[in-house]
């Protein structure tokens, strides 16, 4: 049973700062990319490709450990789209799964599009990653 304080602290409302503008100015501001995006577009398009580890023999198929891990997941939580499109990611998930902190870090890294839209597994992950948590 909880007890309520007799005199709760007063609620303070803060105003939201805004700047009046017209629609044309607002639309023009949306057409201009945010700071840093222009520099990113000029960056080496192969940067992330160079950062990736060399391809391994099992990158295009599930390892035995990954098969075991996926089969232990509840049917609704199995990342089927992900394992079809990116078996190497499922292999890595199966490897880090026992370490909760490492696993959450990996999932967060995958969901954040570090590749700036270069076609990573973000869509497949967003489709089912919430069931992992």
Does 69 map to a domain? yes
Q: Report pLDDT digits (tens) over 80-120.
A: 998 888 898 899 999 999 998 999 988 888 777 655 554 44
1 pLDDT band, cuts 50/70/90, is: low
Examine residue 14 and state whether it is found in any structural domain, yes or no: no
Number of domains observed in the structure of the chain: 1
Does 57 map to a domain? yes
The continuous run of DSSP H or E covering 30 comes out as helix 23-31
Residue 122 lies in a domain: yes
Q: Give a yes or no: residue 9 inside a domain.
A: no
Residue 12 belongs to some domain of the structure: no
Q: Give me the domain span that covers residue 103.
A: 51-131
46 within a domain of the structure (yes/no): no
Cα–Cα–Cα angle for 102, 117, 125, rounded to 5 degrees: 45
Tell the residue number behind the tokens 């709760």, with chain if given: 8
The sign one gets for the Cα dihedral 95, 131, 72, 63 is: negative
pTM (2 d.p.): 0.49
């Amino acid at each position: 049973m909880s007890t309520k304080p007799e005199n709760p602290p007063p609620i303070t409302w803060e105003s939201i700062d805004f700047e009046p503008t017209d629609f044309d100015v607002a639309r023009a501001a949306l057409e201009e990319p945010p700071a840093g995006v222009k520099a990113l577009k000029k960056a080496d398009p192969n940067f992330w490709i160079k950062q990736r580890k060399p391809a391994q023999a099992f990158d295009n198929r599930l390892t035995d450990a990954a098969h075991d891990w996926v089969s232990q997941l509840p049917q609704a939580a199995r990342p089927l789209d992900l394992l079809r499109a990116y078996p190497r990611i499922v292999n890595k998930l199966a490897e880090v799964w026992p370490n909760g902190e490492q696993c959450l870090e990996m999932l967060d890294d995958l969901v954040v599009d570090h590749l700036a839209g270069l076609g990573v597994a973000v869509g497949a992950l967003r489709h089912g990653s919430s069931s992992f948590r």
